């Protein structure tokens, strides 16, 4: 005698109801405005220096000051990781800190280019690898900063893309995110197990293969005993729902792995870039600003 369970009927709304929505933040506009105004002010100062100085160099004011500002901004953007992972008691939402991290990172590149007077960007290009180590790795620091910010923007877009994949799956599968799906899958497996109780080995094998193959392998009725075919038809909706949720769970986990892998890679790249930028900045401060280290003539 077969054991059947009545599945709860869930009324489906018209269209896809969005179950997840990214919280909005006014901080993105605040930090964009602050960054834009700050950069415009420095840009005006830069063009003023071009008019008043014959041949401004990175170690002359105000270009030297631009380098100091750029390094301070680099440390400021790095504070986002500090807020997110280590000092969570700092004021403000993490999302607000993220927008600060993003917009300050963008203008840091532009300010660093002003500091170098567009060297290696519009003129005096690197012709060999020796240029990377000149002036305390100045060119390496500039390229590391550009690579870091550009890769961070790319990672941000990738994060938004994969987050939308998770949100779309959570909205369309009728259950939600990973934890809810996993709980519902256990319920469906229990239901299939109750259907399989007391059945032949062929019936149990058909159910097991259908569960493992995410619904791609479905035994035809002819492979089962006649008295089991009715129960096989009853268990089909449960197997199909299990297959659909398995595929949704796989896509959500894959998106989450992509996000986590990229964040780990970005942290490693950021650490390496920060070391190079810090070396150049600290050596410039010690030699040309504080004169702690004397350059041998």
User: Which of the pair, 261 or 61, is modelled with greater confidence?
Assistant: 261
Q: Same structural domain for residues 36 and 147?
A: yes
What percent of the chain has pLDDT above 90? 48
Are 121 and 223 found together in one domain?
no
247 shares a domain with 142: no
pLDDT by residue (tens digit) across 50-102?
A: 898 877 788 788 899 999 999 999 999 988 887 877 777 777 788 888 899 99
pLDDT tops 70 at residue 230: yes
Q: Does some domain include residue 110?
A: yes
One domain, residues 149 and 278: yes
Q: Is residue 8 part of a domain?
A: no
Q: Identify whether 166 is part of a domain.
A: no
Q: Among candidates 176, 65, 47, which has minimal Cα distance to 112?
A: 65
- Over its C-alpha atoms, the chain yields an Rg (Å, rounded) of 30
Q: Which among 118, 103, 105 has a CA at the least distance from the CA of 49?
A: 118
The pair of structure tokens assigned to 261 is 């892998």
Same domain, 248 and 280: no
Same domain, 111 and 217: no
pLDDT in tens, 194-209: 988 888 888 888 888 8
Helix (H, G, I), strand (E, B) or coil at 50: helix
| Same domain, yes or no: 42 and 108 | yes
Q: Which residues of 105-125 are buried (b: 16+ CB within 10 A; e: fewer)?
A: bbbbbbbbbbbbbebbeeeee
Q: What is the 3-state secondary structure (H, E, C) of 27-48?
A: HHHHHHHHHHHHHHHHHHHHHH
Residue 203 shares a structural domain with residue 134? no
Whether residue 131 sits in one domain with residue 37: yes
pLDDT digits (tens, 9 = 90+) for 148-180: 999 989 998 999 999 999 999 999 998 999 999
Residue at 71 is within a domain? yes
- At 222 the pLDDT is 60
Over 80: is that where the pLDDT of 123 sits?
yes
Query: What is residue 123's DSSP assignment?
Result: B
pLDDT exceeds 60 at position 16:
no
**Chain Cα centroid distance, residue 104:** 18
Going by C-beta distance under 8 Å and a sequence separation of 6 or more, which residues neighbour residue 126? 120, 132, 139
Confidence of residue 6 (pLDDT cuts 50, 70, 90): very low
For residue 268, tell me if it sits in a domain. Answer: no
Three-state secondary structure call for residue 107 = helix
Backbone angles phi, psi at 123, to 5 degrees: -160, 170
Q: Is the pLDDT of residue 13 over 50?
A: no
- Split into its structural domains, the chain has a count of 2
Token pair in block for residue 220: 């035809």
The answer to whether residue 264 sits within a structural domain is no
Phi/psi of residue 119, nearest 5 degrees: -65, 140
Q: Are residues 84 and 114 in the same domain?
A: yes
pLDDT in tens, 214-223: 656 565 656 6
Q: Does 199 share its domain with 244?
A: yes
Q: 122 or 13: whose pLDDT is higher?
A: 122
Q: Which residues contact 196 (CB under 8 A, 6 or more apart)?
A: 203, 204, 207
Domain of residue 139, residue span:
27-153+274-289
Could you give the CA distance from residue 18 to residue 21 in angstroms, rounded to a whole number? Answer: 7
Q: Report how far residue 32's alpha carbon sits from residue 38's, in angstroms, rounded to the nearest whole number.
A: 10
More confident residue, 290 or 187: 187
Residue 87: exposure state from Cβ atoms within 10 A (0-12, 13-18, ≥19)? exposed
- 266 assigned to some structural domain: no
Q: Quick one: 43 and 99 in the same domain?
A: yes
Residue 131 falls within a domain, yes or no?
yes
pTM reported for the whole predicted model: 0.76
């Amino acid at each position: 005698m077969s054991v059947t369970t009545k599945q709860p009927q869930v009324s489906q709304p018209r269209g896809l109801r969005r179950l997840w929505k990214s919280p909005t933040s006014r901080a993105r506009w605040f930090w964009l405005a602050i960054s834009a105004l700050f950069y415009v002010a420095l840009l005006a100062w830069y063009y003023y220096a071009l008019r008043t100085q014959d041949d401004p160099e990175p170690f002359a004011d105000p270009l030297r000051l631009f380098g100091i500002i750029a390094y301070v901004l680099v440390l400021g953007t790095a504070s986002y990781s500090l807020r997110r992972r280590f000092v969570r008691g700092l004021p403000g939402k993490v999302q607000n800190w993220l927008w600060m991290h993003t917009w300050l990172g963008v203008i840091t590149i532009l300010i660093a280019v002003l500091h170098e007077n567009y060297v290696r960007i519009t003129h005096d290009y690197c012709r060999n690898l020796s240029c990377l180590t000149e002036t305390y790795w100045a060119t390496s620091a500039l390229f590391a900063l550009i690579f870091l910010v550009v890769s961070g923007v790319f990672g941000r877009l990738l994060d938004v893309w994969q987050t939308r994949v998770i949100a779309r799956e959570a909205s369309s599968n009728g259950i939600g995110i990973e934890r809810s799906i996993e709980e519902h899958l256990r319920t469906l497996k229990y239901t299939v197990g109750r259907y399989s109780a007391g059945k032949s080995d062929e019936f149990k094998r058909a159910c097991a293969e259908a569960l493992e193959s995410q619904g791609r392998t479905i035994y035809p009725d002819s492979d089962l005993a006649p008295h089991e075919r009715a129960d096989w038809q009853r268990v089909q909706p449960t197997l199909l729902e299990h297959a659909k949720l398995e595929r949704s769970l796989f896509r959500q986990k894959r998106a989450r792995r992509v996000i986590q892998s990229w964040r780990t890679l970005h942290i490693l790249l950021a650490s390496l870039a920060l070391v190079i930028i810090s070396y150049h900045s600290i050596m410039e401060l010690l030699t040309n600003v504080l004169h702690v280290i004397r350059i041998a003539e």
